Amino acid sequence: MIRDVLGPALRARFASRGITAGTARGSVAVFPAMHPAVGDLSIRDDGDHATISIGNITNHQVNPHDADMSEKERTQWVTQAVMEFLERLFADRVLLLKGKTSSWGRIQMLDNDEPIPTISKDADAFLWSGPVQQG
Is residue 65 within 8 Å of residue 58, measured between CB atoms? no
Work out the pLDDT band at 135, boundaries 50, 70, 90: low
Give the separation between CA 29 and CA 19, rounded to whole angstroms: 7
Task: Tell me: do 84 and 27 sit in the same domain.
Answer: yes
Contacts (Cβ under 8 Å, ≥6 apart) of 38: 54, 55, 57, 96, 126, 127, 128, 130, 131
Task: Tell me: do 82 and 98 sit in the same domain.
Answer: no
- Tens digits of per-residue pLDDT, 33-67? 999 999 999 999 999 999 999 999 999 999 999 98
110: left (phi over 0), alpha (psi -120 to 50) or beta: beta
Q: How many CB atoms lie within 10 A of CB 109?
A: 11
Task: Tell me: do 32 and 98 sit in the same domain.
Answer: no
- Tens digits of per-residue pLDDT, 70-92? 999 999 999 999 999 999 999 99
The domain in which residue 100 lies consists of 94-131
Q: How many domains does the chain have?
A: 2
* pLDDT of res. 102: 86
Task: Tell me: do 75 and 102 sit in the same domain.
Answer: no
Closest Cα to residue 29, out of 79, 97, 66?
A: 79
Calculate what percentage of the chain has a pLDDT beyond 70.
99
Task: Tell me: do 59 and 114 sit in the same domain.
Answer: no
Task: Tell me: do 73 and 10 sit in the same domain.
Answer: yes
